[in-house]
Amino acid sequence: MTQDIPEILGQSAQQFQQALGEGWRNAFQSFQNMDLGQAAKGLIPPGSPPPKISFAPEKLQALQQQFLQEAATLWGQSLHGTTQPKDRRFADKAWENNPMAAFSAAAYLLNTRTLMGLADAVQADAKTRARIRFAVEQLTAAAAPSNFLAFNAEAQQKAIESQGESIAKGVTNLIHDLRQGHVSMTDESIFEVGKNVATTEGAVVFENDLFQLIEYKPLTDKVYEKPFLLVPPCINKFYILDLQPDNSLIRYAVAQGHRTFVVSWRNPDASLAHKTWDDYIDDAVIKAITVTQDITGAKSINALGFCVGGTMLGTALAVLAARGEKPVASATFLTSLLDFSDTGILDVFIDEAFVKYREQEMGQGGLMKGKDLSSTFSFLRPNDLVWNYVVGNYLKGETPPPFDLLYWNSDSTNLPGPYYAWYLRNTYLENRLVKPGQAVVCGEKVDLGLVDMPVYIYGSREDHIVPIGGAYASTQVLPGKKRFVMGASGHIAGVINPPAKNKRSHWLRSDGKLPQAHAEWLAGATEQAGSWWTDWSQWLVSHAGKQIPAPKTYGKGKYRAIEAAPGRYVKAKA
Would you say residue 422 lies in a domain? no
The pLDDT of residue 3 is 40
Residues 141 and 259 reside in one and the same domain: no
Residues 220 and 120 reside in one and the same domain: no
Lowest mean pLDDT among 260-274, 315-329, 375-389, 437-451: 375-389
- Identify the domain boundary among 134, 161, 188: 161
Residues 332 and 461 reside in one and the same domain: yes
The pLDDT of residue 375 is 87
The pLDDT of residue 50 is 65
Q: What is the domain range of residue 298?
A: 202-342+438-571
Would you say residue 359 lies in a domain? no
Residues 239 and 300 reside in one and the same domain: yes
How confident is the model over 101-113, as a mean pLDDT? 94
Would you say residue 124 lies in a domain? yes
Lowest mean pLDDT among 493-497, 498-502, 535-539: 498-502
The pLDDT of residue 395 is 96
β-partners of residue 508 are 526
Would you say residue 175 lies in a domain? no
Please state the separation of Cα 244 from the chain's center in Å: 20
Question: What is the reported pTM?
Answer: 0.89
Lowest mean pLDDT among 182-186, 239-243, 333-337, 565-569: 182-186
pLDDT at position 196 over 50: yes
**C-beta separation of 32 from 40 below 8 A:** yes
Please state the separation of Cα 97 from the chain's center in Å: 38
The pLDDT of residue 539 is 98
Q: 26 pLDDT band (50/70/90 cuts)?
A: very low
Q: What is the 3-state secondary structure (H, E, C) of 333-358?
A: EECCCCCCCCCHHHHHHCCHHHHHHH
Residues 221 and 91 reside in one and the same domain: no
* Kind and range of the H or E run holding 215: strand 211-216
Structural domain count, the chain: 2
Residues 318 and 452 reside in one and the same domain: yes
The pLDDT of residue 314 is 98
Query: Positive or negative, the Cα torsion across 83, 88, 94, 98?
Result: negative
Q: Does residue 566 have a cis peptide bond before it, meaning omega lies within 30 degrees of 0?
A: yes
Residues 211 and 141 reside in one and the same domain: no
Backbone angles phi, psi at 485, to 5 degrees: -135, 135
The pLDDT of residue 189 is 92
How confident is the model over 287-315, as a mean pLDDT? 98
* Kind and range of the H or E run holding 14: helix 13-32
How confident is the model over 104-120, as a mean pLDDT? 93
- Identify the domain boundary among 108, 135, 161: 161
pLDDT at position 38 over 60: no
The string of pLDDT tens digits covering residues 326-347 is 999 999 999 999 999 999 999 9
Q: Which burial class, exposed, middle or buried, applies to 169 when counting CB atoms under 10 A from its CB (0-12, 13-18, 19+)?
A: middle
Q: Which burial class, exposed, middle or buried, applies to 562 when counting CB atoms under 10 A from its CB (0-12, 13-18, 19+)?
A: middle
The pLDDT of residue 54 is 79
Could you give the residue numbers annotated as active site? 307
Residues 136 and 214 reside in one and the same domain: no
The pLDDT of residue 47 is 54
Would you say residue 372 lies in a domain? no
In whole angstroms, what is the distance from residue 367 CA to residue 344 CA? 25
Q: Which burial class, exposed, middle or buried, applies to 257 when counting CB atoms under 10 A from its CB (0-12, 13-18, 19+)?
A: buried
Q: 128 pLDDT band (50/70/90 cuts)?
A: confident
The pLDDT of residue 45 is 52
Neighbour count for residue 502 (Cβ, 10 Å): 11
The pLDDT of residue 41 is 45
Would you say residue 418 lies in a domain? no
The string of pLDDT tens digits covering residues 203-214 is 999 999 999 999
pLDDT at position 546 over 80: yes
User: What's the helix, strand, coil split of the chain in %, to 5?
Assistant: 50, 15, 40
Residues 323 and 458 reside in one and the same domain: yes
How confident is the model over 483-488, as a mean pLDDT? 98
Would you say residue 187 lies in a domain? no
Residue 261: strand, helix, or coil = strand
Lowest mean pLDDT among 10-14, 438-442, 459-463: 10-14
Q: 242 pLDDT band (50/70/90 cuts)?
A: very high
Neighbour count for residue 119 (Cβ, 10 Å): 21
The pLDDT of residue 59 is 86
Q: 23 pLDDT band (50/70/90 cuts)?
A: very low
User: Buried b vs exposed e over 237-256: b needs ≥16 C-beta within 10 Å?
Assistant: bbbbbbbbeebbbbbbbbbb
- Identify the domain boundary among 145, 161, 177: 161
Q: What is the 3-state secondary structure (H, E, C) of 408-453?
A: HHHCCCCEEHHHHHHHHHHHHHCCHHHCCCCCEECCEECCHHHCCC
If one compares 501 and 196, the residue with the highest pLDDT of the two is 196
How confident is the model over 62-74, as a mean pLDDT? 90
In whole angstroms, what is the distance from residue 283 CA to residue 456 CA? 25
The pLDDT of residue 357 is 94
% residues pLDDT > 90 (the chain): 80
Residues 48 and 156 reside in one and the same domain: yes
In whole angstroms, what is the distance from residue 87 CA to residue 526 CA? 33
The pLDDT of residue 337 is 98
Would you say residue 134 lies in a domain? yes
The pLDDT of residue 15 is 42
* Kind and range of the H or E run holding 214: strand 211-216
The pLDDT of residue 95 is 95
How confident is the model over 7-23, as a mean pLDDT? 40
Residues 123 and 206 reside in one and the same domain: no
Q: Tell me the helices (H) and strands (E) count for the chain, helix number first.
A: 21, 19
The pLDDT of residue 390 is 96
Neighbour count for residue 523 (Cβ, 10 Å): 10
Neighbour count for residue 519 (Cβ, 10 Å): 11
pLDDT at position 60 over 90: no
CATH code for position 462: 3.40.50.1820
**C-beta separation of 43 from 348 below 8 A:** yes
How confident is the model over 71-92, as a mean pLDDT? 88
Residues 34 and 152 reside in one and the same domain: yes
